[in-house]
A = this chain, B = another copy of it.
Amino acid sequence: MADLDPEEFRRLGRQVVDWIADYRAGLGERPVRPAVEPGSVRAELDKPLPELPGELSGLLAELDRVVVPASTHWQHPRFFGFFPANASLHSLLGDMLSGGLGAQGMLWSTSPAATEVEQALLDALADELGLDPAFTFAGGGGGVIQDSASSAALVALLAALHRARPDWRERGVDGRERVYVTAETHSSLAKAVRVAGLGERALRVVDTDPTTLAMDPGALAADLAADVAAGLVPVLVCATVGTTGTGAVDPVRAVAAAVATTAPTAWLHVDAAWAGVAGLCPEHRHLLDGVELADSFCTDAHKWLLTAFDASLLWVREAHALPAALSITPEYLRDAASESARVVDYRDWQVPLGRRFRALKLWTVLHGMGLSGVREHLRGHVALAGELAGWVRDDPGFELAAEPSLALVCLRVATDRGPDADDAATRSVLERVNATGRALVTHTTVRGRYVLRVAIGSVGTRDGDVAELWELLRAEAGAVRG
């Protein structure tokens, strides 16, 4: 029993392509989130693995019967939860090609093209984002595709630890290291701090501006100075462009100045996981002001840049920084090309050893849509968010919980019965909207208050979808008010 032969794959591959096309075409008719009991899918599949080969059609039937009805449909046009996880059909073409090639790009020599296409694409994309040339390979830095912004933050922290403490690789951390975030910073930074062995005590939560929720650079400078005076070692400062809660934007330039003045050896990481790709539009490029002063910058192609998970783009301004922190070379990975120092071995830019040829799915997006198409996609969602924010402003039954940020709108139900009642009503409206299956929204808290987030950005979202959500919100708010 060998693998499929290529002719069988041609036949079955078409069945799968058709299945995907049908699934995507019918998405708008499905409930965004299923009503499913924990354990029900497992119960359906609780049987021994098959001894004999089965037909693909049987498995596709199982998908239709068991999997699809128990799936939350992230590509649904009315998926407004979390942040979008765009898996555009353009990107699937590249992902398929990546699987077809089946390359393992851990070393340059284990697939030169996989490495160099990634280098070339990330250099070109850095230019289009307006990043400083120092972040390109041509300029002495370079980009790498990580699986997620969480992993990007972790490797940035490891590079920072190595820079702060030349004996870190030998002796590990010593308990004096400190990392600076705000209460709005993504939890992946706290996770990176934990993974790196620093413990929660290493996390300094810097104050934010009470209105914008952006990091207060004066508070940062004070925290850094106090820690330095206490003999602690500021290792990394994370500035966020587009926080998960409300899309707040830390003032990167002022943050960088505070670092440069107070703790110049600390590493400045900019987490722009969701919002960074907006830099492709000149009118939003101001969001990246000051990033040229950072040590690393991350934005996710798999959030708003239409590329199927996983594809988090990380640029560093010193190409040697990650390998210096991460490289370990046993004999079986020794390689003449690596030793020539003329190539990049991406295994040394990440925690895992192996890696897929992920650049292909980004390439099919950029090639298939062109920059003009990508900008239109981003601008369309920003415009829809503006429209929704306008409706919220004009309706006394709702209020904006924060100024809209790009395509993220945070709102609350206004009851006239005080903030606790507003909290309860907002939560109730969210639950009722989601229960309809016609849209999915998620929540956060802002200044301790319950907030409904509308993150616009699914590949299929159109004008009518946001209007439908607004109708739902109004109807459910009306029902809650009674």
Decide if B113 touches A443 in the complex (CB within 8 Å): no
Binds B, one of A59-67, A388-396, A470-478: A59-67
Tell yes or no: A482 within 8 A of B by CB. no
Return the chain B residue nearest A375 by Cβ: B1
Tell yes or no: A219 within 8 A of B by CB. no
Tell yes or no: A25 within 8 A of B by CB. yes
Q: A71-B114, A74-B103, A191-B328 given; name 4 further pairs at CB < 8 Å.
A: A19-B100, A54-B368, A67-B113, A82-B110
Shortest beta-carbon distance from A172 to chain B in Å: 3
List 6 tightest A-B contacts by C-beta distance, closest first. A197-B197, A172-B199, A1-B373, A87-B102, A20-B100, A13-B17
Say whether, besides A9-B21, A24-B100, A199 and B187 are in contact (CB < 8 Å).
no
A71 contact from B103, B186, B352, Cβ within 8 A:
B103
* Range for the number of chain A residues in contact with chain B: 35 or more
Which residues of A183-203 have CB atoms within 8 Å of chain B's CB atoms?
A: 186-188, 190-191, 194-202
Please, how many angstroms separate the alpha-carbon atoms of A345 and B123 in the complex? Answer: 36
10 CB-based A-B contacts, threshold 8 Å: A1-B370, A1-B377, A3-B460, A13-B96, A49-B125, A53-B372, A59-B368, A148-B354, A169-B199, A190-B328
Tell yes or no: A46 within 8 A of B by CB. yes
Say whether, besides A100-B23, A102-B75, A328-B194, A370 and B9 are in contact (CB < 8 Å).
no
Which residues of A28-63 have CB atoms within 8 Å of chain B's CB atoms?
A: 33-34, 36, 38-42, 45-54, 56, 58-59, 63
Please, how many angstroms separate the alpha-carbon atoms of A25 and B5 in the complex? Answer: 8
Shortest beta-carbon distance from A93 to chain B in Å: 5
Tell yes or no: A78 within 8 A of B by CB. no
- Residues of chain B within 8 A (CB-CB) of A20 are 6, 9, 13, 96-97, 99-100
Tell yes or no: A170 within 8 A of B by CB. yes
Tell yes or no: A231 within 8 A of B by CB. no
Binds B, one of A248-256, A303-311, A398-406: A303-311
Please, how many angstroms separate the alpha-carbon atoms of A132 and B59 in the complex? Answer: 28
Please, how many angstroms separate the alpha-carbon atoms of A103 and B68 in the complex? Answer: 10
Say whether chain A's binding surface is mostly helix, strand, loop, or mixed. Answer: helix
Decide if B12 touches A47 in the complex (CB within 8 Å): no
Tell yes or no: A261 within 8 A of B by CB. no
Decide if A332 touches B63 in the complex (CB within 8 Å): no
Which residues of A84-132 have CB atoms within 8 Å of chain B's CB atoms?
A: 85-93, 95-97, 99-104, 108-114, 116-117, 119-121, 123-125, 127-128
Say whether, besides A13-B21, A51-B370, A110-B82, A191 and B41 are in contact (CB < 8 Å).
no
Decide if B244 touches A332 in the complex (CB within 8 Å): yes
Decide if B199 touches A97 in the complex (CB within 8 Å): no
Interface mask (A152-172 → B, CB under 8 Å = 1, otherwise 0): 001000100100000111111
- Residues of chain B within 8 A (CB-CB) of A101 are 23, 67-68, 71, 73, 75
- Residues of chain B within 8 A (CB-CB) of A306 are 3
Shortest beta-carbon distance from A139 to chain B in Å: 13
Please, how many angstroms separate the alpha-carbon atoms of A125 and B363 in the complex? Answer: 36
Which residues of A321-356 have CB atoms within 8 Å of chain B's CB atoms?
A: 326, 328-334, 337, 340, 342-343, 351-356
